[in-house]
Structure 1
Amino acid sequence: MTVFLIGGTGFIGRAVTQRLADAGHTATVFHRGRTTPDLPDSVPIHHGDRGDPEALRDALDTAAPDVVLDVIPYTEAQAKALTSVCAGRTDRLVLLSSGDVYRQYDGLRGASDTPPDPVPLAEDAPLRTSRYPYRGADADFAYAHDYDKILVEEQGRAGTVPATLLRLPKVFGPGDSEHHVGSALARLREADGELVLSEREAQWRWSRGYVTNVADAIAAAVLDPGAGGRTYNVGEPDALPQATWLRRVAEAAGIDTAIRTGPRAEQPDTPSFNWAYRMALDTRRIRTELGFAEPISHPQALVQTVSWETE
């Protein structure tokens, strides 16, 4: 199968590209050429800006892909332009979305007082009614003003090419520029032997996924024609409570820190989250329909990530 990847050189995209190439598929990468990606020699590369429809059209005509995978569709305009260019040039489109489309996310960040939805959140759980969740926020992100995965999903569904939508969890692993495990390590090391969590934070859940496992889930959707027109949550089968997650990170790193619950003063670096809103995703659909199962165990994933963070 020939797969055309937009954004196939970053943290998640590179892992997907490697996965497809290792399986013998032709993974063609389209990127701006500002970096030299660490990709297999067998991967064809086209340089261009996704904001230039003519460059994207020419690259698609050359690659003649069976499937187009957009790893980095952040805005409505990007998704609309892509669906237009893809019409007649590919059989299917796969768009990476996020768990932040769910209404629960507004409650988590204090933007809604709607009662929490029951978890885990299935693909038909209520979505945000708000738009542009990072507009006006102090976010170090080029597309923060116009970012909204709900609008990306709407454009994907409106196109003439059948689109698969993948709602990703918090992704961790070697190469993670946001250092999800690294921040947990720092918190554990600074706790001076004992980390006290509020009861609500200790029980709070957010679905996570190791980058290699997430790449495998994405590849499963790319390679299965039956995924056309479907929406899937991606993430570990069980979203661990925060206290359990921190204990497992500590164990993987060999850090002897006791983690308990109780009253505590808020720490300045603790996120201003409403812990009553749990971001646990129901990932049974992708497992049942596409036969997905994680190739890397959770303990192994944490050990590999801790090693990378430490180095």
Structure 2
Amino acid sequence: MRILIIGGTGFIGPWVVRRLVGDGHVVTVFHRGQTTADLPPAVAHINGDRQNLSSFASQLRGFAPDVVLDMFPYTEEDAALVTQTFRGVSGRVVAVSSMDVYRAYGRFSRLEDGPPDAQPFAEGAPLRSALYPYRTSAQQPSDLAYGYEKILVEQAILGDARLSGTVLRLPQVYGPGDPQHRLFEFLKRMIDGRHVILLEEGRARWRWTRGYVENVAAAIALAVTDSRAAGRIYNVGDKEAFTELDWVERVGQTVGWTGNIKVIPRAMLPEHLTLPYDWTHHLAADTNRIRKDLAYQETVPVEEALRRTVAWERAHPPKQIDSSRFDYAAEDSVYAKNAA
């Protein structure tokens, strides 16, 4: 197949590209050229900004892609421009979305009120009614967070009568190259020799679907190359959604950490460990659809995924570390009061 990827040089994209090329597909990547990625030599590059996609329409359409994979459609306008550009040329557009579209996420983030939704949630679960979940963090309308809304992206991708679409709702993705360093808050404490890690009791019980980057990339590649994915929405992620307590324990086992995790009531936590979420709203997804439709299964087990991730994190710590997030004196004080 001839596959055009919009993006493809960030965290997840290179894994997808390597998978597709390894399976014998012809891949062209459209990106700004600002990110260095280890892509196979056979990959063709077209450098440009997706905000100016129409300026590259002739060149992109000339590639005649069978499928277009959009790795980062953040706004309704992003998705609409892609469908307009490739109508009549490509057979399908696959868009990477997020599990933040679900109502459970809106309630977890306190964007809207209501009781917890049934867990795990499948693709037909209710979506958020509160749009633009990150707009309050934007400094100005031109900021990415201002217009970000995957719900509208999905509607644009799946609502085009002249171009078939597929939507992939991704979980929390971790692994080598993770720009958010998702394991770091716990890993640093373990490496620093902390004997105790404090965990808010609500957070300790909270479940969240995660996905190792190579496994997520394999799911994306499968949805791109299998025509049975046309018109479908898929949750992507591990089969089991671990509690946060289970997850931290697994990280500790990977590191060889011999300390303890102390579960603490929210009211007693030091301020730097208090997060603004409602932990009664779990984010555990049902991922059976992609397994049944496309025969997806993980290629890297959790234990090995954590081993690879921890090794990478050790070698590539964040360039800037906010020391206020690691106020060990405050943590020791709270632990001393709750040691019994």
**TM range, smaller chain:** over 0.9
Aligned to 1:78: 78
Q: How does 1:1-311 map to 2 (within 5 A)?
A: 1-137=1-137, 142-159=143-160, 160-188=162-190, 192-263=194-265, 265-267=268-270, 268-311=272-315
* Secondary structure of the corresponding residue to residue 146 of structure 2: coil
CA distance in 2, matches of 1:162, 1:205: 34
Task: Write the letter of the residue equivalent to 2:219.
Answer: A
Number of equivalent positions: 311
Query: Structure 2 vs 1, CA of residues 302 and 270 (structure 1 numbering), >3 Å: closer, same or farther?
Result: farther
* Secondary structure of the corresponding residue to residue 195 of structure 1: strand
Q: Report deviation, 1:187.
A: 4.6
User: Which deviates more, 273-282 or 55-64?
Assistant: 55-64
Give per-residue Cα distances to partners, 1:55-82, cap 9 Å, x unaligned. 3312322211110000000001111111
Give per-residue Cα distances to partners, 1:228-251, cap 9 Å, x unaligned. 000000000011010000000111
CA distance in 2, matches of 1:228, 1:207: 24
CA distance in 2, matches of 1:197, 1:226: 43
Query: Structure 2 vs 1, CA of residues 270 and 22 (structure 1 numbering), >3 Å: closer, same or farther?
Result: farther
Task: Write the letter of the residue equivalent to 1:15.
Answer: W
* Secondary structure of the corresponding residue to residue 49 of structure 2: coil
Task: Write the letter of the residue equivalent to 1:301.
Answer: A
Task: Write the letter of the residue equivalent to 2:201.
Answer: E
- Aligned alpha-carbon RMSD (Å): 1.8
* Secondary structure of the corresponding residue to residue 27 of structure 1: strand
Query: Structure 2 vs 1, CA of residues 84 and 64 (structure 1 numbering), >3 Å: closer, same or farther?
Result: same
* Secondary structure of the corresponding residue to residue 144 of structure 1: helix
Aligned residues with identical type, % of pairs: 44
Assess if the C-alpha contact under 8 Å between 2:190 and 2:255 holds in 1.
no
Query: Structure 2 vs 1, CA of residues 139 and 287 (structure 1 numbering), >3 Å: closer, same or farther?
Result: farther
CA distance in 2, matches of 1:16, 1:77: 24
Using structure 1 for the length normalisation, give the TM-score: 0.95
CA distance in 2, matches of 1:116, 1:190: 37
CA distance in 1, matches of 2:312, 2:274: 24
Give per-residue Cα distances to partners, 1:106-147, cap 9 Å, x unaligned. 111122221010111100000000110000226899410000
CA distance in 1, matches of 2:250, 2:36: 35
Q: Report deviation, 1:22.
A: 1.1
* Secondary structure of the corresponding residue to residue 135 of structure 2: coil
Assess if the C-alpha contact under 8 Å between 1:30 and 1:59 holds in 2.
no
Using structure 2 for the length normalisation, give the TM-score: 0.87
CA distance in 2, matches of 1:163, 1:270: 40
Assess if the C-alpha contact under 8 Å between 1:49 and 1:55 holds in 2.
no
Assess if the C-alpha contact under 8 Å between 1:49 and 1:56 holds in 2.
no
Assess if the C-alpha contact under 8 Å between 2:254 and 2:307 holds in 1.
yes
Query: Structure 2 vs 1, CA of residues 198 and 53 (structure 1 numbering), >3 Å: closer, same or farther?
Result: closer
Q: Report deviation, 1:54.
A: 2.9
Task: Write the letter of the residue equivalent to 1:255.
Answer: W
* Secondary structure of the corresponding residue to residue 124 of structure 1: coil
